[in-house]
Amino acid sequence: MQPIKKILNWRRIIYFIIPIIIISLCWSNLASASVNITQIQFIGQATLPKGLNFQKTPVGGLSGITYDAKKDLFYVISDDRSEKAPARFYTLKIDLSTGSLKNNGVVPIAVTTLLNENGNTFARATSDTEGIAYTSKNTVFISSEGDAKELVNPFIKEFSLSTGKVISTLPIPNKFLPAKNGQSGIRDNLAFESLTVTPNEAKLFTATENALIQDGVEAQPNIATSCRIIQYNLQTQQPEKEYLYQTEPISSFLNFTGKFASGLPDIVALDDSGNFLSLERSFTGLGFAILLFQVSLDGADDIQQIDSLLKINSQQVKPVRKKLLLDLRGLDVLLDNIEGLTLGPKLPDGQRSLILISDNNFNSLQRTQILAFKLKIESPWMRIFRRLIPNFNR
């Protein structure tokens, strides 16, 4: 009987150990797991009428967009520098109830004028508002690129949704401020276009559209640029980390105009763990090149203490990781100047929507274009399951 008892004891030990191993594997994988976009499907577009006026303001320059899930509304920032009307953002209703976007599916329903700390509108050329991010406190954060040539500093401010007045201002690190000698800081019109808040509203992220002057060259045909992502702690309202984001070099094929624009105009947080969608936009001469990436901060170096990437061996800096999800040139759509993106509501089949919007530069030759997509998102738990059972679903 003695050998049988030993076997039974070993079985008890194995039955006790196996669940512990499985649980530990799950937790270790969960720590490194992230959402994963496995498919993007184009589900329609809409174009606002050219020359559209709403509540005595010209609708245009729409550079950033954010979604309010509680009200099922979108807030869109105009980059008008208080020249055509006071600095402002619009509230849009976007109808995705059928699982697609129709050309008449976007309707402006309100406009909110931005007011400074004194309750006054922003004076002409004192702001260049480009990014917007909603919070559940009934506020939006808005970023301004400033004006490097005129030494107007960029800003990130929180505004009341109901009154449009400034509630708080986040500090901008000195390395980003334009210098009188022109040797450091943001480049003109290539600063804080992007803005996003994590779902738990613990962190805010923004990024420069191109490299700081002291970090390297701006984007040129066949040459990438080194953008910086800034991470803010919204509890302390202080910047706490910075990361290097390298854009893709875009071909100058048949660019007879001599004009070239390329950079990182927007990002949106997918979760609370440093995973994003990023939008890269270039003008190539034959039209716009728009690329969507999934981005992860996991393993990227914090470069907050590095004032100039040109003064170090930047090859040793680990940038954020990127994975190309979609080159929009493959769609059967004439692309315009796409600058903003946001996650939208769930569609009737339960999948998440993604909305992109273009800046028409108040130019009659351009359009305010809204593109809608359906995202297939794989959860961290499903990824863990696939790791534990590699042949699942094959």
Residue extents of the structural domains in the chain:
37-378
Where is average pLDDT lowest: 162-166, 254-258, 347-351?
A: 254-258
> 160-172: per-residue pLDDT in tens?
999 999 999 999 9
Give Cα separations from 317 to 149, 246, 260, 264, 385 (angstroms): 30, 11, 28, 19, 33
- Give the pLDDT score at 30: 43
CATH number of 37-378: 2.115.10
Per-residue b/e over 17-51, b at no fewer than 16 CB within 10 Å?
eeeeeeeeebeebeeebbbbbeebebbbbbebeee
Q: Is the pLDDT of residue 382 over 60?
A: no
pLDDT of residue 386: 54
CA-based angle 382:384:390, to the nearest 5? 95
Whole-number pLDDT of residue 387? 55
Per-residue pLDDT tens over the stretch 110-132 = 999 999 999 999 999 999 999 99
